[in-house]
Amino acid sequence: MADARARPRSLEAWLEHQQGVHGPTIDLTLERVRAVAQRMGLLELHCPTTIVGGTNGKGSTATMLAAMLAAVGRRVGLFTSPHLLHYCERVQIDGQPVDAAALVAAFERIEAARGDITLTFFEYNTLAALEVFRVAGVDSRVLEVGLGGRLDATNIVDADVAVLCSVGLDHRNWLGDTLEQIGAEKSGIFRAGRPVVLGSTQMPASVWRAIGALNCPTYTATRDFHWRLHADGAPTDAANWDYESALCRLAQLPAPALRGEIQYANAATALTTLLLLQGQDGCAAGPVGSALRELRLPGRFQIARVAGLEWILDVAHNEPAAQVLARALAARAHTGRTLAVAGILADKDAAAITRALDGKVDTWVLAGVTGEARGQSAQALAARLPPLRSAPILQPDVAGACARARELARPGDRIVVLGSFHIVGPALAWLGLY
């Protein structure tokens, strides 16, 4: 058992301590984290729980679902990752990050329970979220998968509803080189006989096989639930919309506060999940509309005007997300140039990301990613890229890249910041927006 006197005292010290407890920073297995959870009694508690996985869209969908649950009167614990600037963002109750003291108390209990079992940084994070939610007595939990699904730490919980937003090529070193392999890993969050909500019909055969083998009731976007936009001259990401399924019909819902047309699909997916959890109590236009209007999730096609320039910040960090971002940029009325501040982690397909966006970008400013094990310099990133429309400009860090893009921008231009949470978070801080 760890010596209590040697334990860290501050949140920052705890996070530093956790980086060295387990050798590999990623270790996809459930045995160790499940054993500690059992010692803590975290798996004996029943609280209606949704697990949200997918290559893209899971953070937005999980946050929308939590907001909707809170709007219909539930006390909701939301666990997401990674964070933009502050670790406390990962664990929220009713839309507010918990304070550092609550996390420190959770880490102390984990340390007392784990004995000689080692845990990764993310496993500590998952257990802490479950412990915080236990102490707070939440009515409902929404857990976002960190990586994959089958062997992700969040999957120690048998969720009442599983949501799979999308399946695309990402994290191939861990999940496999094909969509079939990745789909099989992500389907590991499904449970026999329990509902599954799919955010798209474009799923590999492995997902459908898992659903059939487990006999899961399934609700699929555009097949079992639908949405229709009322443009009425408004941009396609600012229109009212209707929702329809066998569970509920709602008309003239407000546009999600999160921008981009893809957010209607995420909102409909979240609403379907709400209805499965809450029944007719969830079929309420007023609370659902309030949740959509008041939702805040920085870094998802976030638009801001700073000193006369339009900035668009998006954490797109793989090819499918870059393709969605490219469509959103094309749909947004704009007459000037587009400058991109991009920083991409070394384990991502930087060539595919930039190739998806190059047709929409006039000038690339590449930023080094610092303070992250998977980070890389701007020079290393540039060496991995295909030929672009213009030679990229290299800067050592996010602040330098943002400053250089601002210097180059003319009235009417826009600046897009993309590629990683580790880029968008510091950019938001540099702009004074977070």
CATH number at residue 55: 3.40.1190.10
Dihedral angle of Cα 88, 92, 94, 99, to the nearest 10 degrees = -40
Are residues 168 and 257 part of one domain? yes
User: Rounded to 5 degrees, what angle do the CA atoms 289, 293, 299 make?
Assistant: 135
Same domain, 365 and 413: yes
Q: Is the pTM of this model over 0.75?
A: yes
Residue 354, pLDDT above cutoff 90: yes
> What mean pLDDT is reported for the chain?
93
pLDDT tens by residue, 40-73: 999 988 899 999 999 989 999 999 999 999 999 9
Find the mean pLDDT for residues 155-178: 87
First-to-last alpha carbon distance for the chain, in angstroms, is 40
State the Cα torsion 280-285-288-292 to the nearest 10°. 160
Examine the fold and report which residue of 271, 294, 317 is the final residue of a domain before the chain moves on: 294
Residues 328 and 231 in one domain: no
pLDDT for residue 5 is more than 50 = no
pLDDT of residue 238: 78
What domain range is 376 assigned to?
302-431
For residue 98, pLDDT beyond 80 = yes
Q: Is residue 70 domain-shared with residue 201, that is, in the same domain?
A: yes
- From 294, 321, 344, the end of a domain falls on 294
For residues 203 and 167, the answer to whether their CB atoms sit within 8 Å is yes
pLDDT category at 323 given cuts 50, 70, 90 is very high
User: What's the domain count of the chain?
Assistant: 2
Q: Are residues 336 and 264 in the same domain?
A: no
Longest CA pairwise span in the chain (Å) = 65
Same domain, 289 and 424: no
304 has a pLDDT exceeding 50: yes
pLDDT exceeds cutoff 50 at 2: no
Domain boundary among 259, 274, 294: 294
Same domain membership, residue 336 and residue 278:
no
Residue 169 shares a structural domain with residue 228: yes
Same domain, 207 and 287: yes
